[in-house]
Structure 1
Amino acid sequence: MADAAYGLWPLVVLNTLLFIVFAASFFHPKSKRDWRAMGAYSAFLVALFTEMYGTPLTIYLLGGWLGNQFPLLKDTHAGGHLWNDLTGWQGDPHLSPFHLASYVAIGVGFWLIAAAWKVLHEAAQHDHLATTGPYSWVRHPQYDGFLLIMIGFLLQWPTIPTLIMFPVLVYVYARLARSEEREVADRFGEQWTVYAAGTPAFWPRRPHRTPPATKHGTPSTPGSARGPDSRATRR
């Protein structure tokens, strides 16, 4: 290697476990569906950090093909920031627009997972749906959070495996969401129908309604309160 940036397998394990545990502490997986969602996210992290600190397969594959056109594309840690290399960014790769945008996406992703869990926990105590907080903007905020984290890492350190995996994982989360929604529709009937009609699944839209208060003191509408990627609606 041109520097000691790769072959650092303890860092692969440490970073993978750190981000998995961090996400699990907010997501609190319990059901089989929760663990499938976490498994998809974890597989993405394993592929990512293996190339980031272990073996830079993408750099090896692209270096010989594009090395003459993109001299920055080399097997150093700085050379792994492909967007910077391909656009000719000459400054510190950690301060590039791509890297800064990645920090924002990853931070918002973790915030979204945590904020959604808070709403889910409160709704579970009252056994109702949740349209407050992130659930007033989108029906699957926790899945959106996981996807934002992955997008953040793709902005920071894209690799061939993770670029291939990402659309597959979007499909996996979409299927999990549809499965959850069928269960929620069976349980809440018309309430769910009204809520789903006014709230998009993944792409957020500003809510146009102000829900009245329920007897629990939690805002509610006929289709209210709990989003489909919640544990309370599954059990």
Structure 2
Amino acid sequence: METFQSHYHQWGAVLFFTVIYGLALLFVPFYRKMDRKPATAYMAFVLAFAIEMHGIPMSMYLVSWIIGRNLPEGVLWGHTLFHQIGYTGMYINIILSTIALFVIGNGWYNIYHKYWSLQKGKGKVVKTGVYRYIRHPQYTGFMLLTLGMIIQWATLPMLIMWPFIARMYYRLAKKEERDMLTEFGEEYMMYKRKTKMFLPFIV
């Protein structure tokens, strides 16, 4: 643990990462109260990442106390698989975060000008930018952001929370698609047949 002691008790860094990752939520509208649940879960995940990376390694302390021995670096705390792959996990996180922010930003730009600005006219099915390939780029972005965090700095709370967050966003995406079918009917159905939900050409 001594190698990474400099990571801890840096509460300014905790605040910085919380704000930076939290900014992604500004590019998603919340029309209904239910939409806030996945956002709240996402922020809880970000806090777990930031606190355990730069604040206090609570997962390592808890698991070590339960099993009666210290955990090696990369097992439920710290740079995941650091001794096997070095800083590769950190680089993967940077790559996934860059892709995620592009996808979220591009999705926001296209949907803002084509659907959200209903006061300028009737909204329409957005088929430009990343929406040519996937129907829920913001949610894809959040999953990539959180997955990158896990690859770089896996902790017990993050491993437990990630499947629940993924399920929340999947359910929200399905709900939104039902709303779009009600609003646009056959046009959205045809769009749905030509695109994937989250990953181009895959799913």
What TM-score do you get using the length of structure 1 for normalisation?
Answer: 0.72
Q: CA deviation at 1:80?
A: 1.3
Q: CA deviation at 1:61?
A: 4.4
Q: CA deviation at 1:179?
A: 0.8
Q: CA deviation at 1:138?
A: 0.9
Deviations 1:51-97 (A, max 9, x none): 11222023234557597894x469xxxx7112214x3x4xxx5xx22
Give the Cα separation in 2 of the matches to 1:132 and 1:66: 55
Asked whether the 8 Å contact 2:48–2:158 carries over to 1, the reply is yes
Which among 134, 140, 143 is matched to residue 138 of structure 1? Answer: 134
Give 1:115's aligned residue. Answer: 106
1:91-106 → structure 2 map (5 Å cutoff): 93=86, 96-106=87-97
Deviations 1:197-220 (A, max 9, x none): 1211122129xxxxxxxxxxxxxx
Deviations 1:121-142 (A, max 9, x none): 1212451111111111111111
Partner amino acid for 2:112?
H
Q: CA deviation at 1:155?
A: 1.2
Give the Cα separation in 1 of the matches to 2:185 and 2:174: 15
Partner amino acid for 1:49?
A
**Quick one: structure 1 residues 29 and 69, their matched pair in 2 at CA, closer, same or farther if it must change by over 3 Å?**
closer
Asked whether the 8 Å contact 2:92–2:151 carries over to 1, the reply is yes
Give the Cα separation in 1 of the matches to 2:88 and 2:6: 26
Give 2:54's aligned residue. Answer: 53
1:63-212 → structure 2 map (5 Å cutoff): 70=72, 72=73, 80-85=78-83, 87=84, 89=85, 93=86, 96-124=87-115, 125=117, 127-205=123-201
- Name the one with the larger helix percent: 2
Larger-Rg structure: 1
SS in 1 for 2:99: helix
Give 1:225's aligned residue. Answer: none
Moved more, 126-135 or 146-155: 126-135
Q: CA deviation at 1:193?
A: 1.1
Asked whether the 8 Å contact 2:8–2:55 carries over to 1, the reply is yes
Partner amino acid for 2:91?
L
Give the Cα separation in 2 of the matches to 1:199 and 1:128: 16
How many residues in Structure 1 have an aligned counterpart in Structure 2? Answer: 192
**Quick one: structure 1 residues 66 and 122, their matched pair in 2 at CA, closer, same or farther if it must change by over 3 Å?**
farther
Give 1:31's aligned residue. Answer: 31
Unaligned runs of 5+ residues in structure 2 are none
Deviations 1:30-64 (A, max 9, x none): 42355334222211101111211222023234557
Moved more, 148-157 or 50-59: 50-59
What TM-score do you get using the length of structure 2 for normalisation?
Answer: 0.82
Give the Cα separation in 1 of the matches to 2:126 and 2:111: 7
